[in-house]
Chain A
Amino acid sequence: MTARRVSALALAALLFSFLLTSCSLFEQGRELLTEGNIKKAGQVAGVVRKTFADITEEEEYYIGRSVAALILSRYKVYNDPALNAYVNLLGNAVAAYSDRPEIYGGWRFLVLNTSEINALAAPGGFVFITRGLIRQCRDEEMLAAVLAHEIGHVAAKHGLKSIKKARLVEAFKMLGQEAAKKYTPQELSRLTIVFEDVLGDIAGSLIERGYDRKYEYEADTLSVKYALATGYHPGGLSDFLKSLAAQEGQTQAAGWFKTHPAAKDRLARVENRIKRIRDLPVRDSIRLNRFKRNYKG
């Protein structure tokens, strides 16, 4: 081997080893898992996590489970396995064509046994719809539109956005300070109190006060988008809103009437949106017949 060739290979080897080292930049910040480093990392995590967007999928799932339990402490379940199976299939069909088809524990839908017209969506994909609301639906298009509206709330994380900012700061500060592994009884007790407050913020918006109007309009926009993407005629939402608008003022303000903006306002916005869509799907009688088979009224 000539001296020139040796020097060329040495140069190449040097360059290559430099590149390999530089690749470790991928791992910048990665440290050995010692107790001290975990504690330090936890503190870093507390600093990094600031907003609702920093809530992990798993955390959203556990928050959602408890919000669902709170909803179910207010309403009884309509224990009709066939109707619940149909609503689950319909909901999952729409969710598959939403912006968030994949969610930590999967999408789940359940019918509540009340004549109140209402639908509620807890974070993590737990969606509830009342028997009173289904009664307002004349076909699968209308029911799909309402479920799409609720899926929109979860996809856009409106529930998590209703957690007070100060509460999140407090929660993340606590989560960042605690040591990893399992919590001590004292740490767990403090964290559970914060957890209860988080649930209170979400349940308050969902059940009592309703979301901010802009979130309801956004969920309507997403309903039109998801229904269309699934193949449903998005007019299902305007039909449903027309039905609500006709009843506004006649019934006691409860359920959707209490927590949602006036149906007439929403209807105008939705109809404007639908007018701009060129190719609207056909309302297939197969779906109408399927709806009638599964919901006897």
Chain B
Amino acid sequence: MKRNTITVIMGCVLLAAALFAAQTYAVKVRTSALRSGPKFFASSLLNVKTGDGLLLLKREADWLQVKAPGGQVGWIHVSAVEPKKIDILAWNKSTKNQASATEVAMAAKGFNKQVESSYRARNKNISFVWVDKMARMAVGRAQLEAFLRQGRLGEFRGVK
């Protein structure tokens, strides 16, 4: 009996320790992906977007192995995320719904699209035509991989 009680107490303590030690992150870039390994050209497992919550499993240099609310495990570069407190016990609910009042206030504020529109209305001589064209000049991952492979660069150096 005494042994059972100790086991239950120990279990609870371990659970609490795990919850307190859990490090959680939120995606801070517009879009990114969880990858199958700690490198850019590892296959993409899950697309993620700004505000998505992730639970840290382990870290290797600048790469984090994380778990998404849906249970998918993958790697993401540290520059795509920021530490964020997330309710682990409500993990199965959408982490988007867990934003605090402060976060919501912050997200709705700041120098955003509305401020840019206002700036553009006041400065009609400043053209955004090429800025918008630049925004559309996205380099695809396959294209970039081919460029690196051809130039024997990055993960493909020394490969003929």
Contacts and interface: CB of A to CB of B under 8 A. Distances in A.
A65 interface: yes
A23 B88 contact: yes
Interface stretch (A187-195, A236-244, A260-268): A187-195
Give chain B's interface secondary structure class: helix
Contacts of A253: none
A8 B1 contact: yes
A20 interface: yes
B106 A45 contact: yes
A192 B118 contact: yes
A88 B139 contact: yes
Given A26-B85, A230-B154, A57 B29 contact: yes
A24 B19 CA distance: 10
Interface stretch (A207-215, A216-224, A270-278, A279-287): A279-287
Contacts of B143: 89
Nearest to B148: A93
A223 to B, nearest CB: 16
A254 interface: no
A231 to B, nearest CB: 4
B28 A12 contact: no
Contacts of A59: 110-112
A33 B107 CA distance: 13
Of the listed residues B30, B80, B102, B154, the one surrounded by the most CB atoms of chain A closer than 10 A to its CB is B102
B12 A15 contact: yes
B35 to A, nearest CB: 12
A33 B108 CA distance: 13
A193 to B, nearest CB: 9
Contacts of B4: 5, 8
B15 A68 contact: no
Interface in B76-121: 77, 79-80, 85-89, 98, 100-102, 104-106, 108-116, 118-119
Interface size class of B (residues with CB under 8 A): 35 or more
Contacts of B47: none
B144 interface: yes
B127 to A, nearest CB: 7
B79 A100 contact: yes
A252 interface: no
Nearest to A90: B147
A231 B152 contact: yes
Interface size class of A (residues with CB under 8 A): 35 or more
Contacts of B130: 72, 77, 110
Contacts of B101: 30-34, 37-38, 40-41
Contact of A38 (B105, B113, B115): B105
A92 B139 contact: yes
A58 B125 contact: no
A22 interface: yes
A8 B152 contact: no
Contact of A62 (B28, B112, B137): B112
Given A88-B139, A140-B151, A73 B113 contact: no
Contacts of B40: 96, 101
Given A23-B89, A26-B87, A93-B147, A108 B152 contact: no
Contacts of B148: 93, 96
Contacts of B111: 55, 59, 62-63, 171, 191, 195, 198
B122 to A, nearest CB: 6
A70 B131 CA distance: 10
Nearest to B33: A102
A99 interface: yes
A19 B131 contact: no
A9 to B, nearest CB: 8
16 contacts: A24-B87, A26-B87, A42-B109, A58-B112, A65-B116, A73-B127, A88-B137, A90-B147, A92-B144, A93-B144, A93-B154, A96-B144, A181-B108, A192-B119, A230-B154, A287-B152
The 10 closest A-B pairs by CB, nearest first: A102-B80, A12-B8, A231-B153, A41-B102, A41-B101, A8-B5, A30-B100, A42-B105, A19-B16, A180-B108
Given A96-B148, A198-B111, A230-B153, 4 more contacts: A40-B101, A45-B106, A58-B112, A140-B151
